[in-house]
C-alpha cells in the first residue's frame, strides 16, 4: 500500500510539476521565420523572406523589457552603419499593443525597421527562451547565431560577426550573383 501511495504521489508531482517542453523542431524554425507575416507599424505587412539576400539581425523586444530598451539604440546604430552594405536589423515587438511599440520608437527616435507581432506570434512559435532574444540570419535565411538576453560581450560579438560577413561579401563580388555566395 505504501508503495502504491508513493507511486501515485510521484506521478502527480511529475505530471503537475513538469515544465512544458519548449519550441518547435529546429528544422521548422527556418520556414516559420521566413513565412510568418509581420505587421509594420504603418499597417503594412512583411515577411523576413522579403529581406532575403541581406544578412539579418532579428531582435525580439518589448517596451516593458528594460534590457531591450537599453539594447535597441545600439541595434539602431548598427542598422544605420550597415545601410546599403547588405545587412540590416529588424526589431520584432512582442508587446500586446502595437501602440506601445510605436510610442517607444517615437520617444527614442529610432529609425530601424520595427514590426509588431505580439506575444503569440513568432515568439510563441519559436518559443524564444529570453527577452530580448536576437537571431543572426545569413543571406539565405539560415539561423547561424543567437544571443539570449542582452549581455554586452555577446551582442558586440554578434555585431562583429555581421561586419565579417559584410566584409567577406565585399571581397567576393564575383560570387554575388544568385545569392549563393553567403559567407558564414
Q: Which residues bind other proteins (CB under 8 A)?
A: 1, 5, 8-9, 12-13, 16-17, 19-20, 22, 60, 62, 64-65, 94-96, 119, 123-124, 127-131, 133
Residue closer to other proteins (CB basis): 52 or 124: 124
Contact predicate 183/86, CB 8 Å: no
Closest separation in Å from C-beta 154 to other proteins:
17
CA distance 41 to 95: 12
CA distance 155 to 161: 10
Specify the 3-state DSSP secondary structure of 170: helix
Helices 152-171, 66-82: axis angle to 10 degrees equals 20
Nearest to 121 by CA among 60, 64, 72: 60
CA distance 153 to 36: 30
Residue closer to other proteins (CB basis): 47 or 125: 125
Closest separation in Å from C-beta 148 to other proteins:
10
Contact predicate 169/183, CB 8 Å: yes
Closest separation in Å from C-beta 80 to other proteins:
27
Closest separation in Å from C-beta 95 to other proteins:
7
Residue closer to other proteins (CB basis): 80 or 120: 120
Residue closer to other proteins (CB basis): 95 or 138: 95
Closest separation in Å from C-beta 83 to other proteins:
29
Tell me which DSSP letter residue 96 carries.
S
Residue with cell 509588431: 116
Residue closer to other proteins (CB basis): 100 or 161: 100
Amino acid at each position: 500500500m505504501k508503495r502504491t501511495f508513493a507511486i501515485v504521489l510521484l506521478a502527480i508531482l511529475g505530471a503537475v510539476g513538469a515544465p512544458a517542453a519548449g519550441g518547435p523542431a529546429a528544422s521548422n524554425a527556418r520556414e516559420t521565420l521566413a513565412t510568418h507575416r509581420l505587421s509594420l507599424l504603418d499597417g503594412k505587412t512583411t515577411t523576413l523572406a522579403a529581406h532575403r539576400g541581406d544578412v539579418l539581425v532579428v531582435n525580439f523586444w518589448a517596451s516593458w523589457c528594460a534590457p531591450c530598451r537599453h539594447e535597441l539604440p545600439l541595434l539602431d546604430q548598427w542598422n544605420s552603419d550597415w545601410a546599403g552594405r547588405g545587412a540590416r536589423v529588424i526589431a520584432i515587438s512582442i508587446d500586446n499593443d502595437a501602440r506601445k511599440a510605436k510610442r517607444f520608437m517615437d520617444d527614442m527616435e529610432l529609425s530601424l525597421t520595427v514590426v509588431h507581432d505580439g506575444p503569440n506570434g513568432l515568439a510563441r512559435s519559436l518559443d524564444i527562451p529570453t527577452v530580448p532574444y536576437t537571431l543572426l540570419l545569413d543571406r539565405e535565411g539560415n539561423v547561424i547565431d543567437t544571443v539570449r538576453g542582452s549581455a554586452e560581450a555577446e551582442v558586440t560579438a554578434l555585431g562583429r560577426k555581421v561586419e565579417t560577413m559584410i566584409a567577406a561579401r565585399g571581397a567576393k563580388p564575383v560570387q554575388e550573383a544568385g545569392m549563393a555566395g553567403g559567407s558564414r
